[in-house]
Structure formats: structure tokens, C-alpha cells
A and B are shown apart, each in its own frame.
Chain A
Amino acid sequence: MKRNGIGALVIVPLLSIIISFLIGCMIIAALGANPADAMRYLLKGSFGNMRNIGTTLSRATPLIFTTLCACFAYRCGVFNLGGEGQFIIGAIVACYIATKAPFTGFPAIVLCALAGAAGGGLWAAIAGVLKVWRGQNEMIITIMLNYVATLLMGVVYTNWLRDGSVPQTVAVPDETQLASFFGLRATVAFPVAVIAGIVLFYFLFYTSSGFQLRAVGLNMTAAKVNGFNVKRYLLMSFIVSGAIAGLGGALELLGTQLRLINGFAAGYGFDGVAMALIASLHPLAGIIVAIFFAALRVGSTTMQTATGVPTSVSDIIQALVIVFTVAGMAMVKLPEFKNWFARRARKEV
């Protein structure tokens, strides 16, 4: 039973990816290009050499943070769609500290990271408090807070921290920028993201609190009747997921973007939601899915330069993966499918 359950969680995304690529190849062929060539350049562009790998991991890092943010909140049954806003708030806080603090270097980095996480957590806590004590819908509030955060960032880079005449903030001082990782373009933010994923995994599956949090997410009534402090877990899941996104925002600013500018973090929040669903809300799988999507995005540029296939084909493939996975997950839950599967399993025995 369990084996089958987990099997479906792995097989469905894999099959979806294969089908999506096949459709992508058909589109490429229809455009008059050679699909095999295009695929080769896609792979080369994302993992072909150390430089490209570095770029891929660098692109993956913020996605990992927003994916983990969604994984954690959804495990507790909280539909936090505000990963983007929390990410931006983390970056704004980090930006202030990095550019205004009297010190630079490692202490500044640590302070930026912690304060960024705190900022993201507090931003999510707004929705959490409204949900837990006032019963408001967290989806709507977190989405609205995304706009608030984006607009707030606009004020920051056009007014408060504006860099001369350009609508962007001043850059993070050199000493406060994150070091690169093994000489790659990716910074230490990447290992931090992976460690965050491992910590979340351990917390969710190997601690009593994580166990209880999952129980709250799966059946809130049973959790309450069995004596769990449901409100505490709900609020905690808002704050922790917001903090993860906030940390991601702070590190993205210090490592890659270096300044706040129009379009910073655009789309990362919802990307994270989609990736978390593909990963079946598993933090470790989430890391892999985020890297996979980053690779598609990075590699598509090389594909376009080398074969003339537009990068939008990669966007199509990404979208198809999401559609097929979500549909596939829903399909395996259908009773007809379960019966069919059970019959097959029995025949094998």
C-alpha cells in the first residue's frame, strides 16, 4: 500500500516530465528545428560546464527557498500564497542593513540573513493572525500582501534608498556580498538553501512537533480533539514559512541581485507553489524540482542562441509539467484508477 502510494508520487511527475518534453520536441520540430539538437543545447546550457552549472544553481537558489516556504505551510494546511511578498520583505530588510549598517562583512551578512528571515516571518504573521484569530482566508490576504510588498519595494528603490538618478537601490557593499561557492557563479546561498531543506525534512518527519504539524494539516478536527494546540501550529507554519522566504530574499539580494530593482523576485512565489505541489510537499524533492526548473530556464537561452528555438518553448515545457503533474496526481486518486491499480497488483502476486 505504502509502496504504491510513494510510487505514484514519483512516477507521476517523472511521466509528466517525459510527456512534456515529447510535446516540447514536437513543437520544436514544427518550428523547423531539430529536436535532438535543441535538447542537447538545452542540457549543455544548463549543465554543460562548471560555469553553466553555477548559473543553474544560482537561479535555483531563490526558487528552492520559495518552494520550501510553500511545502512547509501546506503541510500544516495553510495555503500561504505570499512567498513572493515575504521574499521581497526579507530582501528589503537585508538591503537596509547592508547599506546602512556601520559594519560590513560577515557580521553584516549574518545580521541581514536573520533580520530578513524575521521580516519575512512577520510579514506572513499578519496573514497568520488574521487567519487564526479572525478566520480570514489566508490565500486572499497573502496574495494581497504580495502587492503591498512589491509596492513597498517600489517606494524603497525609487525614494528611500534610491541610487542617484536610476530607479534602483544602491548596491550592497562588496564586503557584505556573499562569497561564491566552489568558484561557481552560485553563492553560499545555495548550500544554505539545501541545508534549510534538510532541516525542514528532519523537522517534519523526525520530530514530534513536525508530526503534530502534519496531523493538523491533514485533519484539523482530529488534531484538536487529540489535544494538539492547533492555533499555535497554524501560526507557527505561517511564521516559519514566511521566514524561509524572507531568508531566501535576503540571500538573493546579498548573493545575486545586489540591489533592489523593478521586477525583483517577480513570480518566485507562485513558482514555489507549483514546484512544491510537483514535489508532493516533500522538502528534499522540492530542492530537486527547483533545480530542474532552473535548468530549463537557464538552458533555454543557449538553446535559442544555438538553434533558434525560442526560449518560450522552455516556458511551454515548464507549464506542461505543472499541468500534467497536477492532473496526474488527481487521476491516481480516482477510485477507478485505484481499483485498476489494485487489480494489477493482485495479478502480480
Chain B
Amino acid sequence: MAVGSPQTEVLRMEHITKKFGSVYANRDINFDVRAGEVHTLLGENGAGKSTLMNVLFGLYQPTEGDIYVRGQKVKIESPSQAVKLGIGMVHQHFMLVEAMTVFENIILGDTRSKGIFIDRNARKEEILELSRKYGLDADLDHPITELAVGAQQRVEILKALYRGCDVLVLDEPTAALTDQEAEGLFEIMNKLKQEGKSVIFISHKMREVLRVSDRITILRAGQTVETVNIGEVSGEELANRMIGRELKPSQYVKSDSSGEIVAALDHVSYHKSSKHNGLNDVSLKVHRGEIVGIAGVDGNGQSQLAMLLTGNIAPEEGAMDLKNSKVTRFDPNGFIQENVSHIPEDRNKAGLVGNMSVADNLVLKSTRDKRFSDGNGMHLKKKAIRSYALEMQEKYDIRCSSVEQESRNLSGGNQQKVILARELEASPDLLVAVHPTRGLDIGATRFIHDTVIMQRDMGCGVLLISADFDEILEVSDRILVMFEGQIMGEYSGKNPPIDEISLAMAGK
């Protein structure tokens, strides 16, 4: 232990309450961090993790409560003050200037130099020293754009360390990493611990939480449930306390349907030479009644695969069959007419019209339907649309103040349920679901998985694309791995060879 003993408290947040109007985002939260520990904040979306960290980082002022740093009561009024107190934060979405080099990003906003010139060599030496100490290898003269996600994250951590942080907040740091990159991150966290630095780790992936944490504080509905030491409780128990009710372990029965083929790609290529945004000689089949999971790190051609299978782009080489007839025209409407449903990657950009109401979004594709209009769309039946929306609200458990509410004001989970309702009510033959549970909490995730499985059992062929490996393992009947636009291998969803798949995801 270089600095302080493991029991030294570096940070304590006492009775923190943050109210927005009459709503409590945080209520009487107690939270402390010791030197050299990884302390996990565990909670569903909306449990108050981000609010608490924003209070710590000086972005919000707490309504009540005090913050102590190394025993001293402090008032943190701005992020720069937080930095001065030794608190660093790596946001989920990196705050890097992409056109600048690693070095420039690290010294950006640093206030140490008094003069107008920067002593580059001395600075570089300092940074290299840090990077050696913590195993954060980074090429200082590389522009950020050329770095992989994992490397960008290391730059963020370096940046925080360079500014002298003792407490590092990592907000969902593994969301965009491969398993191997995540391993690398965990090693770095270990080094930080050894050097007496503390890490506040925010995540809801139970596997890694159990793996890296020393202590875990569970937040629920803005309040601290409890703080536990690692090893005291099982992962299952943690999950139950996090959501506040018993969650039965999900054991989906895997199907091995070899029913009719609903969609088939035959040696399809699209922007072949692009490693991250292309498809290279992809062949696959989706049968009725099965879920084909596409595993892989984000940005290996999955987006293009989804767009192709929904008619948004046309292949440059190869052919596609939809229900045993060759597709000649790639346009989204034609695919919709062929009963292809699509849960798009970006639910705000491509899934919903945010400024339209929940009801309007539910009938987005079907306003010409007899149920919702007379004379092929000449007169909309507003009452029928409303009552249909109310029915869907009930059936899909969409939580909104009214079906007239603008869909952009809904939480991510509820937005996804609106899309799910619209896409599944069409009783699709093929469902292309892209990151359907990204950013959702456990409850909403479970609901979406259940619904998709139900659709499978009704004979729909599902292509599930997800960067969440656990999700792929949980629901897929067949697993394909994508890397740099290619299919690296095919595995059964029953007892899948996890190590082998992980390697394939990294291109090995």
C-alpha cells in the first residue's frame, strides 16, 4: 500500500438528498469510499446513481446532506472543484476531442501551466510515467479517431490520473468493451487499488460487479438499500435487493427448430473493405421459431446486417431470400409488407418519432389500416387509435402519463416497449432486433426477452443483434459471431462454448 491503509476513508457522502421539485432523486443516501477499494454502485436505471455522482462531481447541489473529502467537509460547486479535490470521472460517453491526439486530450483543460507555452517534453514524460505505473499503454501522438474504444477509455483514465485524482468514477465502463478489453480494464482497476486509489464502479452487469468489487452499495428508488462486502451475498440475492422483489432466474428453453427458412443471406457483401461498417461474404439463415443471436463487439458490421435484413440498404454482392423468394428490391416498405419487423438500433433516431404521441407511434406503420382510418387513410379514426393505444399500454405495460404524451418524454424502457408493441402486433414472420435491451433495467429487459421468446414460440424467426454477450447467451437458439464484417463461427445456443465464442468475438 503506497498511500493510506485500506481502511482510510477518502470520501464520505452523508444523508444526501436531492429533490427535483417534489420528486426525490436521492433520499438520505449514505455512501463512503475507502482508499484502495473498488466500491460499486448498483441499481436499476432511475435508482439515483447518476444523480448521486453528479452531486459528487459538482454538477448538482444537494438539497440536504454533506460531502467529506479526507475528513474535511467540502462544498463542491463545479466539476473543476471536484477535480481539485481529487475526484475524476470517466463518463459512459467519452469526453474526448476526436481530432486531437492522445497527448493533447490529456493536457486539455489542465490549469497547471502559468505561462502561455506548454513544455511538451516534460508533460509527455510525466504522462508516460503514469501510464507505466498503471499499465495504461497509450500512444500519445495518435489521434483519438484512430483508437479503439478500449484505448479511448484508457486515455480517459489517464486524463483523470494526470489531473491528480484519488477517487475515480467509472460510469458503466464495460458497456462498449469486448470481454478481453474488459479484462484489461479490470487489471488496471487492480493496479489503481494497489496504488491506493479508489474506484467508484457503476454497472448493472452482475458478473463483473461480483468480480471486481470490494464493497457494493445498492440503490433503489433514490435510497440506499444497504452496503455489503463482497462475498456476503450472492449475485442472485443482489439482483433481488436491487429491484426490490424476487426475480426468478430466467431459464429460457432453447428451441432447435428447423422450420421453414424465413430469411437467408447468400454470400452477401456491402462495403467489403470497411472493417467496422461493412459486410464481407456473409451467409446465414433464419428459420421460423428460432432466435439467431449475433454476438460481437459493436461496430463490426452488425448495423449493416440489420439494415440489410430490413431493406434499408441493398447488398453490393450476393443475394437475399425472404420466405423463399429472392429479394429484388431493397426498400423498407417492401420488407414491411413482407411482414418483417424491426427493432432498430437507435430507438430515438430510427424507432420513434419523438415529438409524436405514444398513440401515434403505436400506429405509425398502420394508419392506412381499416382499423385506424376510413377510405384507405382518408380519414383517421382518432377514437379507434386512442382505444388501441390504451389496449397496447395495458398489454405491453407501457408506463406513461397518457397515451397522448410525447414519446420522447418516456424512459428508455418504455420507449422500447412502444416500439416492441408496434413491431410485434404486426405478427411478423421475421423480427430483426438490434440491441433491444441496451440501457434498460433488469425489469424491462426481462419483459422484452419474455415477449421476444413468446413471439419465437408463435413461429416468428428472430435475428437478435446485441453487444451484450450475456443477453445473446441467455436467449439465442443459435449463435453467430461477427468480426470485421465477417461471420466467424456458428455455435449452438444450448451449452454454448463461451470461451471459444469470446475468442471469435476478438477475431481469433
Contacts and interface: CB of A to CB of B under 8 A. Distances in A.
Interface in A209-233: 209, 211-212, 214-215, 218-219, 221-229
B348 to A, nearest CB: 8
B310 A207 contact: no
A134 interface: no
Nearest to A214: B356
B405 interface: yes
A2 B405 contact: yes
A182 interface: no
Contacts of B335: 227
A88 B409 CA distance: 43
Contacts, number: 87
Contacts of A165: none
A225 B342 contact: yes
B336 interface: yes
A224 B332 contact: yes
Q: Which secondary structure dominates where chain A touches chain B?
A: helix
B21 A218 contact: no
A222 B349 contact: yes
B401 A1 contact: yes
Contact of B21 (A214, A219, A229, A343): A343
Given A1-B402, A2-B405, A339-B20, A219 B352 contact: yes
B379 A207 contact: yes
Given A211-B380, A214-B356, A229-B333, A221 B22 contact: no
Contacts of A347: 22
Contact of B402 (A2, A207, A221, A224): A2
Contact of B350 (A2, A218, A225): A225
B332 A227 contact: yes
Nearest to B350: A225
A49 interface: no
Nearest to B376: A208
B401 A227 contact: no
A227 B333 contact: yes
Contacts of B344: 225
Interface stretch (B33-41, B93-101, B179-187, B365-373): B365-373
A319 interface: no
Interface string B356-392: 1100100011011000010011111010000000000
A13 B278 CA distance: 50
B404 interface: yes
B351 A212 contact: no
Contacts of A229: 333
Interface in A1-29: 1-2, 5
A226 B379 contact: no
Given A5-B406, A225-B310, A219 B22 contact: no
B354 interface: yes
A1 B409 contact: yes
Contact of B353 (A206, A222, A227, A342): A222
A218 B402 CA distance: 21
Nearest to A210: B380
Contacts of B342: 225
Contacts of A2: 357, 402, 404-406
B355 interface: yes
A343 B22 contact: yes
Contacts of B365: 226-227
Contacts of A222: 349-353, 364
A219 B353 contact: yes
Interface string B10-23: 00000000001111
Contacts of A226: 332, 336, 364-365
B484 to A, nearest CB: 25
Contact of B377 (A1, A208, A223, A339): A208
A339 B377 CA distance: 38
Contacts of B331: 227
A218 B405 contact: no
A225 B351 contact: yes
B63 to A, nearest CB: 13
A1 B404 CA distance: 8
B274 interface: no
B406 A218 contact: no
A286 B344 CA distance: 37
A221 B380 contact: no
Interface centre among A2, A5, A205, A227 (most CB of B within 10 A): A227
Nearest to A216: B353
B312 interface: yes
Nearest to B23: A346
Interface in A159-184: none
7 contacts: A207-B380, A215-B360, A223-B353, A225-B312, A227-B331, A228-B333, A343-B21
A-B interface, 3 closest residue pairs, ranked by CB to CB distance from nearest: A208-B377, A343-B21, A227-B333
